[in-house]
Amino acid sequence: MARSIFFSTPMANAILSGKKTVTRQVIPAYPAASCPYGPPGRHLWLKEDFYAYGYWSSKYSELKKRTLWHFIDMTLESGQAYQFSAPEGYARQPRMSTGPLWWYRPGRHMPRQASRIELEVTDIGSEQLQDITDEQASAEGFYPIHDSTHVYFANHMPAPYSGLSPTAVIAFATYWQSLHKRHAWHDNPWVWVIRFRRVL
């Protein structure tokens, strides 16, 4: 059975361009009996931040003693397609806005039918994070950018922190540090090394 896996927008785009073929996922308690994303041959459908067309509905919860908001997704039934960058004319609105609109949705809320990428696991290993090589960091999506005299590696971080690094490992470490506070680069956690190929 396929399961979901989350990737940031830059990493999803790197997969789409064929520049990312491996990912590292923290092992919460090492040693672990088995990788939750395996075994090889398993399919993973990708969750990422996206835009859906719909509206918000509110209902008071007696249990929680507050109003809860629920997003009503109308993307497919209205003949729209899920978007992965801000649609033309998009502007953030208050939830009480009337009528359906485009809304930014965090990847954790992505339904299966919105996913645009499916992967097949080809190999699984484990190692400590800092064991990564420049070759493997490039396979993580931190590919070289050439100018007339130098080679750099984009760190894929949002402005104003975006920039170029002198090696793929440094670019990978910078990006990892921006995502992981509990399992930071300097903590050198054990990670699953999951290689994959894109099938959708």
Final residue belonging to a domain, choices 82, 105, 128:
105
What is the residue type of 149? T
Final residue belonging to a domain, choices 105, 137, 171:
105
Average pLDDT estimate for 170-174: 94
User: C-alpha distances in angstroms, 20 versus 83, 117, 157, 160?
Assistant: 21, 13, 16, 24
Same domain, 96 and 172: no
Beta strands in 62-117 (DSSP E): 66-73, 101-105
**What are 40-83's pLDDT values in tens digits?**
999 999 999 999 999 999 999 999 999 999 999 999 999 999 99
| Residue 39 and residue 124 in contact, taking contact as beta carbons nearer than 8 Å | yes
Within a domain: 9: yes
Cβ-based burial of 75 (10 A; exposed 0-12, middle 13-18, buried ≥19): buried
Within a domain: 110: no
Q: Read off the pTM.
A: 0.91
User: C-alpha distances in angstroms, 154 versus 5, 17, 165?
Assistant: 23, 15, 6
Same domain, 25 and 122: yes
| pLDDT value for 32 | 79
| Residue 185 and residue 132 in contact, taking contact as beta carbons nearer than 8 Å | no
Same domain, 42 and 54: no
Domain boundaries, position 180: 3-47+115-198
Same domain, 33 and 120: yes
| pLDDT value for 29 | 86
**What are 10-43's pLDDT values in tens digits?**
999 999 999 999 999 999 988 878 999 999 999 9
Structure tokens at 142: 């931190």
As a whole number, the mean pLDDT across the chain is 93
Same domain, 100 and 126: no
Element (H, E) at 164: strand 164-165
Tokens 């990312």 map to which residue? 20
Same domain, 140 and 185: yes
Final residue belonging to a domain, choices 83, 105, 127:
105
197 φ/ψ sector (left φ>0, alpha ψ -120 to 50, else beta): beta
Same domain, 62 and 126: no
Sign of torsion over alpha carbons 48, 53, 58, 63: negative
Same domain, 177 and 92: no
The model's confidence at residue 186, banded by pLDDT at 50, 70 and 90, is very high
Same domain, 141 and 69: no
Same domain, 148 and 88: no
Instruction: Please count the structural domains in the chain.
Output: 2
